[in-house]
Amino acid sequence: RITDTIFWDIEKDLEGPLTIESGGSLRVSQRLSMPEGSKITSKAGGTLILDHVKLHNTCGNTWQGIEIQELGSKKGKLQEIGDCQVEDTVHPYPNTQ
């Protein structure tokens, strides 16, 4: 769970889902591997910044993708900088629900 302003400038292999809470901001600028079946959620008021990044599952398995949530007039944000690749997802990118 991301609740502050965080910058990941290192390759990561996550072991579970990733949630950006309201008021939180995550900038990812290196490869990020998501576990099978997991998803990235930007809650209303949260921000996900993809900066020349590749999101995928290292083993080629599927994960759920990115969900941008809304609550009333408040909406999660997704910002892309440069060439961003989102691979191995079940749902189209981005998945807004």
pLDDT in tens, the chain (97 residues): 999 999 999 999 999 999 999 999 999 999 999 999 999 999 999 999 999 999 999 999 999 999 999 999 999 999 999 999 999 999 767 654 4
List residues bridging with 55 in a β-sheet: 32, 86
What pLDDT does 94 receive? 60
pTM of the full predicted structure? Answer: 0.91
CA distance 58 to 82: 22
CA distance 17 to 27: 16
CA distance 53 to 45: 22
State how far the alpha carbon of 81 is from the alpha carbons of 1, 58, 74, 94, in Å.
22, 22, 23, 15
What pLDDT does 96 receive? 47
What pLDDT does 91 receive? 78
53 and 27 Cβ atoms separated by less than 8 Å: no
Nearest to 59 by CA among 80, 38, 40: 38
What pLDDT does 95 receive? 54
